[in-house]
Amino acid sequence: MSIFSSLFSKQVNLEPSADAVQEHKTLPEIREEDFVDNTEPTEQKTYSVEFGTKLPIDVIYGFLKENYDEKGFRDALTNPDKSYKEKNLAIIRSSLAVKFKQVMLKYEDLLHEIDYLIKSRGDAGLVGMVELLKSKKETYEKHVDELKKMKQDLDKEEPYMTGIFTSYEVGFLRGLASLTLTNLNIDTI
């Protein structure tokens, strides 16, 4: 044997020690049912419907769908003053007006951008792309027309546009009634 082999060689014992054998025998058995659920799945019918266009007009519809009844109720409990209610109605009206402006500006930007894309893609000879862009432009224009109509209906106090104000007032009155009953310690049936 050479000097290096005698210095660096190790003898490996491949026989397991008695402690290792004993430890192996005491380990718990791993069973499939501990980790895998083999039961039949229950039949669940899940239906999901997505509303909205995922376009800026959804901001207005979302604002109109908010729960103003509950907001009015909470506001009445906070401050049961008529002037407080009137100021909050003015804030809601102002917020809606701001949302209309934001959405209209977004559509103006989208229409400007799409006009550019129609021209540049038309110059490149992409007829199919131009038709797709024109279709999208029509959708944007329809949304702008609907927004203008909604804004006019709001100014004319049409019920479907002013329902949020009525809802707020109903909630405020409900809050006043609740506050009164609570202050007088009257239980309702």
Q: What is the 3-state secondary structure (H, E, C) of 130-155?
A: HHHHHHHHHHHHHHHHHHHHHHHHHH
pLDDT digits (tens, 9 = 90+) for 61-111: 999 999 999 999 999 999 999 999 999 999 999 999 999 999 999 999 999
Q: Which has the closest alpha carbon to 165: 110, 96, 100?
A: 96
Domain parsing of the chain, residue ranges:
67-183
CB atoms within 10 A of CB 96: 19
Predicted model pTM: 0.66
Using a 10 angstrom Cβ sphere, with 0-12 exposed, 13-18 middle and 19 or more buried, the burial of residue 83 is exposed
Q: Read off the pLDDT band of 60 (50, 70, 90).
A: very high
**Residue 167 and residue 181: Cα distance in Å, rounded?**
21
